[in-house]
Amino acid sequence: MFHLILYQPEIPPNTGNIIRLCANTGAQLHLIKPMPFELDEPRLRRAGLDYHEFANVKQHESLQDCLQSAGDPRLFALSTRASTPYDQPEFSPGDAFLFGPETRGLPVELIESLPVAQRLRIPMRPGNRSLNLSNAAAVVIFEAWRQCAFKEGS
């Protein structure tokens, strides 16, 4: 199973969409506080439809707590400031993918604490800022799952 980590998510519908993504791919979702909304927020529930009961969602006080809880997985951070294409690493079940808050991305020092090969970016046309958080999460989790031949439990 993969771990999808949202670091201080800000927009409830994005988190709801990602809950639905995790329910459909088997990824475990980790939410790092603080968050400006609760998991019962109506816009989050609407975006996730009735998938909440099928997703494994955990909230954590810090990234350290999250990683420890997940068994210290190999961590990949997604950032527009990274240089390694998201499809270059060979992913394994248990890998974790870290996404930053919608309005500011991951802190630079957090990104720089990882080896360059674990700082991933999704290519885009020149001049564009970023993808929607839930779209970026879907691109990455499906690539990782594809590499594992879409096996159950990856």
Identify whether 154 is part of a domain.
no
Identify whether 45 is part of a domain.
yes
Per-residue pLDDT of the chain (154 residues; tens, 9 = 90+): 999 999 999 999 899 899 999 999 999 999 999 999 888 767 666 655 566 677 899 999 999 999 999 999 999 999 999 999 999 999 999 999 999 999 999 999 999 999 999 999 999 999 888 899 999 999 999 999 999 999 887 6
Joined tokens for residue 123: 């290519």
Identify whether 153 is part of a domain.
no
Is the link from the previous residue into 42 a cis peptide, with omega within 30 of 0?
Answer: no
Type of residue found at 101 = P
Identify whether 131 is part of a domain.
yes
The CATH number for 125's domain is: 3.40.1280.10
Q: What is the pLDDT of residue 43?
A: 63
Quote the domain boundaries for residue 36: 3-147
Q: How far apart are CA 35 and CA 33, in angstroms?
A: 5
Q: What is the pLDDT of residue 45?
A: 63
Domain count, the chain: 1
Q: How far apart are CA 8 and CA 18, in angstroms?
A: 14
Q: What is the pLDDT of residue 44?
A: 63
Identify whether 152 is part of a domain.
no
Q: What is the CA radius of gyration of the chain?
A: 14
Q: What is the pLDDT of residue 153?
A: 72
